[in-house]
Amino acid sequence: MSGSVDAHARGGAVPVVELAGAGFSYPDGPPVLRGVDLAVAGGRCLALLGRNGSGKTTLMRLLSGGLRCGEGRLLLDGEPVAYDRAGLTRLRTTVQLVVQDPDDQLFAASVAQDVSFGPMNLGLPEPEVRARVAGALDALDIAALADRPTHLLSYGQRKRAAIAGAVAMRPRVLVLDEPTAGLDPHGQERLLAVLERLGESGTTVVMATHDVDLALRWADDAAVLSPAGLRTGPVAELLADRGLLEGARLRRPWAMAAEEVLRARGLLESGSPGPRTPEELGRWAAPA
Ligand SMILES: Nc1ncnc2c1ncn2[C@@H]1O[C@H](COP(=O)(O)OP(=O)(O)O)[C@@H](O)[C@H]1O
Ligand SMILES: [Mg+2]
């Protein structure tokens, strides 16, 4: 049974986008994904976790329509996606993928030109394009870089410019492939603040990462790729599952280890959540 049927049975909303029984192999290669069910619920933050080579990028390309499932199907608002021009346009205005390396995405001379490319391609009137570009640059906190040549930007700035290009399409689902990889701690914090604001304004964000601490802190839900398949659920539940983490060859989140010690020593009441960051642990440990 597909995830959407389960969601209906639970009384939940239809997922915005969903893979049902999805399988994929590259030409002449072994299957990368098999029988994958993944429902992306509107308004939730989803972390896609897996070690290098586990299939995160492939799965994100299936979700955003860059690759097509070999088996199974992709559903948009509960309806199978048609891979014709109209169907793909509908998919791309709903789901936007930002690839891992910004240099694979940026190509125009200036930041504003690059960010305007998608909306212009939709044939939107020029004032609307300008408004979208301004909004996207603002959302990513790079309005001051609008006229800067993209090749003169820092890596973190190029990452934000690439995300702005996707945001300018006003997608309901923003899919980010390892957006924090290569950023310094300050750059990571800035990006998380941006994602938080996008989430508050109603964008659903899916992020691929192998950073379990980041996932635990940021996500509502997790999808974990391992040789046994894809497991989905609330992030705190999945990342507390040692068997799952071992199977997926993921590290145990630092916060889970800290929480276990605190509970074992009777320092954390049952039902109250443990600290999720070193800062939270610091506040928690401070004398009242
Ligand atoms: N274009 C491609 N052609 C052939 N095999 C590929 C291609 N891209 C990825 N793969 C293979 O598919 C598997 C999953 O890769 P990928 O989806 O990139 O994983 P991840 O993003 O989790 O690192 C790997 O074994 C990888 O070598
Ligand atoms: Mg990848």
Distance CA 129, CA 134 (A): 9
**CATH 3.40.50.10490 for the 3-250 domain, yes or no:** no
Q: What is the DSSP letter of 253?
A: P
260 CA from centroid of ligand 1 (Å): 35
Q: Would you say residue 286 has pLDDT above 90?
A: no
Q: Are 225 and 49 in contact (CB under 8 A)?
A: yes
Prediction pTM value: 0.91
Is the distance from the beta carbon of residue 26 to the nearest atom of ligand 1 less than 6 Å? yes
Tens-digit pLDDT profile for residues 199-221 = 999 999 999 999 999 999 999 99
Kindly identify the ligand whose nearest atom is closest to the C-alpha of 52: 1
SS3 114: helix
Tens-digit pLDDT profile for residues 16-51 = 999 999 999 999 999 999 999 999 999 999 999 999
Res 267: pLDDT: 86
Domains of the chain by residue range: 3-250, 253-288
Count Cβ neighbours within 10 Å for each residue of 268-288 and write b for 16 or more, e otherwise. beeeeebbbeeeebeeeeeee
Among protein residues, the one whose CA lies closest to atom 10 of ligand 1: 26
Residue with more model confidence, 233 or 261: 233
Is the distance from the beta carbon of residue 96 to the nearest atom of ligand 1 less than 6 Å? no
**Which residues are bridge partners to 17 per DSSP?**
40, 76
Among protein residues, the one whose CA lies closest to atom 16 of ligand 1: 55
Tens-digit pLDDT profile for residues 161-178 = 999 999 999 999 999 999
Res 10: pLDDT: 47
Contacts of 147 (CB under 8 A, 6+ apart): 110, 111, 112
